[in-house]
């Protein structure tokens, strides 16, 4: 494919940024200790436009795929299966949207530096190739989210994918996160608040199923419609980042305490049932042993009686023979 030349633009739509940020903060935030923060990974959905081999990338949506360990990981077989599933979804959609790249997080892995690792270079080859020279990678670190005017991520591309894992890379500087221009985005924030209140995962990965903890009526979208106001995009994005962080502060610790108490109660119940089962088994064992002892004694008594009777019968016969 040759060396990547030019500085094409990357645009991130509000919905895509929202979903990526919630996914990243779900598994890596300042409430968690460092060893509890883990990487997340997902795919970017959008389209490309413009001239040249490398085109402008518009990221409209993000689909969370998986989360892993506190260290960087390569794509697994399951990850490729999920990529294929997502690709099939958009092939059936018959639009110009497709998987334009991927995102993942380094939860303070490189000590407050967002970095593109050698493993990331290897993974990027799956997205940036002859079929998609514009393939883009976004790398998040939750520790950057609290920095004013920082969106918490950087974008990268390989300089020359034809070199394989030996390719160098560069940061894509011409990237824009669009401000929300619809009330539907703020309905998403309402849903986020509700999910935290209900102690549900704020965003599910592609292989997750929801766990229902309650049934609370949420107003329909048509019940919340109003005139669209004008917003200051910088203040909105900054407040949004701070708000998500505060939501997680208020929800993660109680959720962990709840799960710990639930686990403790379940463990106590299991221990109680195990003790009861042991007592019942011992009782059954004693009952069976007592019954077997009674059978053995009865059998022994009957045998001795029969032997005694048989001995008397034989003596009588012998006496009769002597008389004759």
Q: What is the mean predicted confidence (pLDDT) over 262-281?
A: 87
pLDDT at 106 over 90: no
List Cβ neighbours of 183 (8 Å cut-off, separation of 6 or more): 224, 225, 226, 228
Q: How far apart are CA 204 and CA 101, in angstroms?
A: 20
Q: What is the signed CA dihedral for 142, 147, 153, 157, rounded to 10 degrees? A: -140
Strands of 26-149, DSSP E = 40-49, 56-67, 98-105, 136-140
Q: How far apart are CA 205 and CA 88, in angstroms?
A: 17
Q: How far apart are CA 310 and CA 314, in angstroms?
A: 6
Of 237 and 50, the one with more pLDDT: 50
202-247 pLDDT, tens digit per residue, is: 778 887 766 554 444 556 666 656 656 565 677 777 877 787 777 7
Structural domain boundaries in the chain: 10-253
pLDDT at 167 over 90: yes
* Closest alpha carbon to 238 in 187, 177, 171, 188: 177
* Closest alpha carbon to 133 in 154, 114, 157: 157
23-49 pLDDT, tens digit per residue, is: 988 888 877 877 788 889 999 999 999
Query: How many residues does this entry show for the chain?
Result: 324
pLDDT at 270 over 60: yes
* Local confidence band at 153 (pLDDT 50, 70, 90 cut-offs): very high
Of 229 and 313, the one with more pLDDT: 313
- Angle 183-197/233-323 helices, nearest 10 degrees? 40
124-148 pLDDT, tens digit per residue, is: 999 999 989 999 999 998 888 878 7
Span of 96-100, 195-199, 266-270 with lowest mean pLDDT: 195-199
Q: The whole model's pTM is what?
A: 0.60
CA distance readout (Å), 139 to 5, 74, 110, 160, 218: 21, 14, 12, 19, 34
List Cβ neighbours of 4 (8 Å cut-off, separation of 6 or more): 54, 133, 157, 158, 159, 160, 161, 170
Q: What is the CATH number of domain 10-253?
A: 3.40.140.10
């Amino acid at each position: 494919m040759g060396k990547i030349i030019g500085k094409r633009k990357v645009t991130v739509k509000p919905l895509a940024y929202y979903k990526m940020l919630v996914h990243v903060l779900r598994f890596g935030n300042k409430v968690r200790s460092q060893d509890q923060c883990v990487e997340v990974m997902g795919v970017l959905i959008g389209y490309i436009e413009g001239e040249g081999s490398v085109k402008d990338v518009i990221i409209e949506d993000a689909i969370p795929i998986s989360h892993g360990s506190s260290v960087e990981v390569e794509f697994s077989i399951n990850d490729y299966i999920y990529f294929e599933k997502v690709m099939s979804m958009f092939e059936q959609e018959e639009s110009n949207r497709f998987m334009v790249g991927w995102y993942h997080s380094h939860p303070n892995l490189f000590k407050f530096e967002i970095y593109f690792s050698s493993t990331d270079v290897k993974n990027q080859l799956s997205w940036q190739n002859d079929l998609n020279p514009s393939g883009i990678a976004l790398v998040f670190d939750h520790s950057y989210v609290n920095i004013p005017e920082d969106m918490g991520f950087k974008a990268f591309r390989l300089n020359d994918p034809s070199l394989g894992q030996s390719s160098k890379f560069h940061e894509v500087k011409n990237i824009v996160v669009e401000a929300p221009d619809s009330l539907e985005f703020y309905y998403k924030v309402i849903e986020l608040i509700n999910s935290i209140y209900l102690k549900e995962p704020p965003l599910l990965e592609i292989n997750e199923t929801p766990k229902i903890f309650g049934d609370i009526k949420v107003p329909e979208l048509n019940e919340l419609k109003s005139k669209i106001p004008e917003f200051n995009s910088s203040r909105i994005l900054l407040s949004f980042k701070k708000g998500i962080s505060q939501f997680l502060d208020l929800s993660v610790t109680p959720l962990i305490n709840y799960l710990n108490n639930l686990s403790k109660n379940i463990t106590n119940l299991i221990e109680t049932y195990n003790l009861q089962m042991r007592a019942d088994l011992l009782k059954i064992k004693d009952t069976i042993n007592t019954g077997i002892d009674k059978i053995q004694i009865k059998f022994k008594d009957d045998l001795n009686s029969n032997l005694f009777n048989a001995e008397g019968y034989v003596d009588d016969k012998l006496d009769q023979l002597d008389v004759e």
